[in-house]
Amino acid sequence: MLKALRKEPEQRYSSAEQFAADVRRHLSHEPIWAGLPSAAYRIRKFVRRHRASVIAGAVGALMLIAGGTGLTVGLMQAVAARADAVRQARIATAVNDFLNDMLMEASPGEHAHGAQATVEDVLDAAAQQIDSSFRENPEIEAAVRLTFGRTYNQLGRYDAAELHLRRSFDVRRKLFGAEHASVDEAANALGLMYFESGEYDEAEPLARDVLSHEGTLYNADHLNLAEARNILSAVLWARGEFAAAEPIHRDALEMLRRIHGVEHPDVATYLHNLGVLLWNAGDRAAAILPTTEALEMRRRLLGDDHPRVAASLSNLAAIWAEQGDYARAEPSLREALDMRIRLQGPDVWWTGDTRCHLGYCLMGLGRYDEAERELLAAWRLLVDGLGQDHFRTQRAVERLVVLYDERNAPEQARQWRAKLSDEVNSNGQ
């Protein structure tokens, strides 16, 4: 109200301070400064005669003041939003320019040793240039490192991913403070990397910290809140806390649908993750629906030949195999494995995970020699990519134990049983 009054001083007070002082004096029953006594007397007489009209006018004035304040706040918010959009566009342009320059330097497709350059070769070379390229612009450096960290994470290069994601998080926290959307974005990326690499104790506090900003930094649905829920639920089910994980993940899925609509690649990912959660909880029948929905949506949005399609197809076929429908599962697992090898490479843990499912399926069909080859290959890839104690690796070990038990090879079964960890839940995906 004081700000509104200052806009028209000639009609009211010469200053907000004078008005405030008069209010205090009036509440103390002291003479006020505004107007001569005779004028005050006339005003009091007028108010007494026209009390209803004066009250209505006062209410109208207050509504106008409030409305004007609301318009001012709305305008300020719109200006701030536009400035933020311009800033984000500038950052995105700088990131894209940097990546394009690095790709151009990789032409004509060879690195220093004359071999064909890979995506990882280009990334590794470009990563060496980040410090010198953005020494004077830490905000852009943080955005570049976020992009690099996410890419390394998708490649399963967790050490490199952690380096860049941690630096992005630290730089943004220093620039913007602990409670800022861009800091939470980096925290989620870092938390997701920790989950996927099996470091659940590192992932959980990052997700919970983002969620602690709900109601303060975020007063409505936000991608950061949805993703933090997604990560937290994944950590919980990986620890076997399925009853706690499911409602959190369903909240994340519904929030994402409100943000993006029902048809979006990220919605498909959350559906896929819901299927993973239910599958790990042992409810294979319930897991089929969201996994099928995720597969169909990914095919519509991404095409039939895509790593995410391979992931959903692999999971769905693995569920069929665990339900005993081995004949139905085998061709889909082979299709998924072919996609994994072509699109992600033969030596990554994702390929090992699908090999593990295929080995289990072949074991169910009684084709033990083929099953053994697939399971041993799967175990090697999973150990290399995720470590011995990761639940995916432990699942491969458990299946090898079952295989050797069924083949009446007790010594081999004993050797593999010794590799099992009591701390790992080996039921799930």
Instruction: Read off the pLDDT of residues 43-56 as tens digits, 9 standing for 90 and up.
Output: 555 555 556 665 56
What's the pLDDT score for residue 7?
A: 45
Helix ranges, 387-409 (H) = 391-406
CB neighbour class for 368 (10 Å; exposed up to 12, middle 13-18, buried from 19): middle
Predicted TM-score of the model (pTM): 0.75
* DSSP per residue, 124-175: HHHHTTHHHHSTT-HHHHHHHHHHHHHHHHHTT-HHHHHHHHHHHHHHHHHH
For the cut 80, the answer to whether the pLDDT of residue 84 exceeds it is: no
For the cut 80, the answer to whether the pLDDT of residue 18 exceeds it is: no
For the cut 90, the answer to whether the pLDDT of residue 372 exceeds it is: yes
Length of the chain: 429
What would the CATH number be for the domain defined by 319-429?
A: 1.25.40.10
Q: Quick count: other Cβ atoms within 10 Å of Cβ 85?
A: 10
What whole-number distance in Å separates Cα of residue 239 and Cα of residue 392?
13
Three-state DSSP class for residue 218:
strand
285 φ, ψ (degrees, to nearest 5): -60, -45
What's the pLDDT score for residue 52?
A: 61
Three-state DSSP class for residue 109:
coil
* 8 A C-beta contact, residue 274 and residue 286: no
The 8-class DSSP code of residue 426 comes to -
Q: Tell me how far apart the 2 most distant CA atoms of the chain are, in Å.
A: 113
Q: Which two tokens stand for residue 76?
A: 């300020």
Q: Which two tokens stand for residue 135?
A: 């020494």
pLDDT digits (tens, 9 = 90+) for 317-349: 999 999 999 999 999 999 999 999 999 999 999
The 8-class DSSP code of residue 261 comes to -
Residue type, 231: I
| 191 confidence band (pLDDT: 50, 70, 90) | very high
CATH number of the domain at 136-214, out of 3.40.50.150, 1.25.40.10, 3.40.50.10890, 3.40.30.10?
A: 1.25.40.10
What's the pLDDT score for residue 243?
A: 97
pLDDT digits (tens, 9 = 90+) for 247-259: 999 999 999 999 9
What whole-number distance in Å separates Cα of residue 46 and Cα of residue 57?
13
pLDDT digits (tens, 9 = 90+) for 217-233: 999 999 999 999 999 99
Topology of the domain covering 223-303? 1.25.40
What's the pLDDT score for residue 251?
A: 98
Segment among 128-132, 183-187, 405-409 with least mean pLDDT: 128-132
Three-state DSSP class for residue 116:
strand
Closest CA to 152 of 110, 185, 122, 112: 122
214 φ, ψ (degrees, to nearest 5): -70, 130
**Chain region(s) in the chain for CATH 1.25.40.10:** 136-214, 223-303, 319-429
* DSSP per residue, 168-204: HHHHHHHHH-SS-HHHHHHHHHHHHHHHHTT-HHHHH
Give 131 or 385, the one with higher predicted confidence. 385
Segment among 38-47, 121-130, 190-199, 313-322 with least mean pLDDT: 38-47
Q: Which two tokens stand for residue 6?
A: 């200052």
- Mean pLDDT taken over the chain: 83
